[in-house]
Amino acid sequence: MDLYVGESQRATNARDRRLLRDRRRGGPGGRRPRRPGGAAAGVFHVGPVAETGPQQWRDMFAVNVIGLLVVTRAALPHLRRGTAPAVVTISSMSGRRVPTAAGGVYSATKHAVHAIGDGLRLELRDERVRVTTIAPGFVRTAILDDWPDGPLRDRYSERMDSVGLDPDTVADAVVHVLGLPAGVAVAEYAGTAVCQ
């Protein structure tokens, strides 16, 4: 589960987007916004249903779905006091389709993230809280680090290395949607490497 909550400001060009990103990170030339927040976590136990078990399924749903709900619920009072509140959830292209049998349960959690984003958008629209679900393809992260050695891990690692997006690309997508005018909501932002 990845979630970014916070206030946005207009970012009209590359310099403005860098400034907004720096401000979000508290980096050079920026100060942190008054009400930023964020959480990032994700669990992907690989394997078809016949080769995985209830504890692995529970782990994925606990982090990828319940974790998203818990963090979002805790952030809502702060968002409601914001001047340009937004919720950005990071799902996956696996939340739009099931790419392999080995990723079916993970895809189910990401489909849930999409449904939660759609539900939140409907729930919060009258309060002017923007909700966006970002669905990247492969991203070069450490999500495979806990996988057991073997051909499945090798195949996913090779695929991630060859077509995986840089995590900064996903961060840029977040900056983009948060930089849009406060009255503009992007329901879903899906993207992959051209070669994926």
The pLDDT value recorded for residue 9 is 35
pLDDT of residue 113: 96
- CATH at 10: 3.40.50.720
Q: Would you say residue 39 lies in a domain?
A: yes
The order of strands in the sheet holding 37-40 is 37-40, 2-7, 85-90, 130-136, 188-191
Residues in the chain, pLDDT under 70: 1-41
Tokens of 5: 């909550």
- What's the chain's average pLDDT? 82
At residue 12, the pLDDT reads 37
The catalytic residue among 4, 106, 156, 189 is: 106
Tens-digit pLDDT profile for residues 152-192:
889 889 998 999 999 999 999 999 999 999 889 999 999 99
What is the tally of structural domains in the chain? Answer: 1
pLDDT score, position 18: 55
The residue assigned the tokens 């994925």 is 60
| Rounded (to 5) percent helix, strand, coil in the chain | 50, 15, 35
Tell whether 155 is covered by a domain.
Answer: yes
Report in angstroms the alpha-carbon separations of 9 from 19, 83, 184: 10, 10, 12
**Known active-site residue 106:** yes
- What pLDDT shows up at residue 35? 36
**Residue 16 domain-assigned (yes or no):** yes
Residue 38, classed as helix, strand or coil, is strand
In a domain, residue 72? The reply is yes
The answer to whether residue 196 is domain-embedded is no
The C-alpha atoms of residue 154 and residue 139 are separated, in whole angstroms, by: 16
Residue ranges making up the domain that contains 69? 2-191
Predicted confidence at residue 91, as pLDDT, reads 94
